[in-house]
Amino acid sequence: MRTDMLTIGAFAKACRLSPKALRLYDELELLRPARVDADTGYRYYAVAQLEQARLVAWLRRLGMPLAGIRRVCALPPDAAAREIRAYWARVEAETAVRRDLATFLADHLSAPPRKDTTMLELRYAAHSDRGRVRPANQDTAYAGPRLLAVADGYGPAGARAGSAAVTALKALDTAEPPAGSVLNLLEDAVQNATRAVADATGGEEAGTTLTALLWTGSRLALVHIGDSRAYLLRGGGLFRVTHDHTVVQAMLDEGRLTPEEAVSHPQRSLLLKALDGGGTPPVPDLRLHDALPGDRYLLCSDGLSGVVPDDRVRSLLSSAPDPDAAVRCLTDAANEAGGPDNVSCVVADVVEAGA
């Protein structure tokens, strides 16, 4: 036998893949033996194949699917490295979503009954502006005792789409929702909103984002579809509580774009999820947020978040004396930055009842 060839057993030991795995990878054309004995069918591998075999083993330890491993192995080193980084960024993003859900479920099931009997309520304001460039305003902003919502319509009937989506949720503003089923209530409301958008647009190429918070008396339940956003100002820090459903955000999550590149990317407004009234309603992001006195929430369309940096938003939210002043100064900031899009803001403060 040639000295540069190894039996399948010796090769398996050297690369830490089992003979069974090597036979599978041969069948999948992922790692073919260098020679197969015509009489016995016995597989032999070249010493030079050890590096690729070890790469396959490492990628399997990462949990990469076989199709992904095949793609990585076919690429030159630099491109393979980018593909591995993109894969791991996807894993981390998916893990973060599952971690949030697991944390919520664990907290929900194990939380003791609330002993603090302090009654809380919302103080709120909403404002929507056409901006400096767009000929019409396709945004809708709404704030009520229990419901806060922003919708950003697009297409010829975008204004009708956004208005219809928010109107479909307004029924939730009239009565206190049962705390145990508030997320199911919001999920059902999204289906109603989808039908309302379809009726309002009449089959035209149009749709809308939808980001809303529903007050339960001690918590805010979030429903989110698209690239409008929700933020929480707490203890002087600004926290974004939504994740954009856009092509660019997906590329960021996968490590294919840097935040700096995303700002000017030509597809930064291309949505992966929206209410367009057609087919199956999109699956919204749903979660519950415990409210604390002093919290300030912001809902906004991308006419604000796209042109006003987060640190400026935090400064304006922190300095505004009340929600009405906050929505006005945020809208002004977007217009001072050029106002390239419609801008809508809803701001709500969590306060002790009667304060």
- 10-residue block means of pLDDT along the chain (355 residues)? 77 85 81 86 87 85 82 89 87 71 60 62 97 97 97 95 96 72 86 93 90 92 96 93 89 74 78 84 87 96 95 96 98 97 98 83
**Phi, psi dihedral angles at 58 (to 5 degrees):** -65, -40
Residue identified by tokens 């059902």 is 188
3 state DSSP class of 151: strand
3 state DSSP class of 9: helix
Q: What is the pLDDT of residue 115?
A: 53
Q: What is the pLDDT of residue 133?
A: 96
Q: What is the pLDDT of residue 102?
A: 67
Whole-angstrom distance, CA of residue 3 vs CA of residue 350: 76
Per the CB < 8 A criterion, the answer to whether 202 and 157 are in contact is: yes
Q: What is the pLDDT of residue 168?
A: 95
CB under 8 Å, gap of 24 or more: what pairs does 241-246 form?
241/287, 241/289, 242/211, 242/285, 243/285, 245/271, 245/272, 245/273, 245/274, 245/282, 246/270, 246/271, 246/272
Q: What is the pLDDT of residue 107?
A: 58
Per the CB < 8 A criterion, the answer to whether 171 and 212 are in contact is: no
Whole-angstrom distance, CA of residue 10 vs CA of residue 19: 9
Claim: this prediction has a pTM higher than 0.75: no
Q: What is the pLDDT of residue 335?
A: 97
The CATH topology of domain 5-69 is Multidrug-efflux Transporter Regulator; Chain: A; Domain 2 (1.10.1660)
Helices (H), 243-288: 247-253, 259-263
The CATH H-level (homologous superfamily) assignment of domain 119-352 is: PPM-type phosphatase domain (3.60.40.10)
Q: What is the pLDDT of residue 301?
A: 98
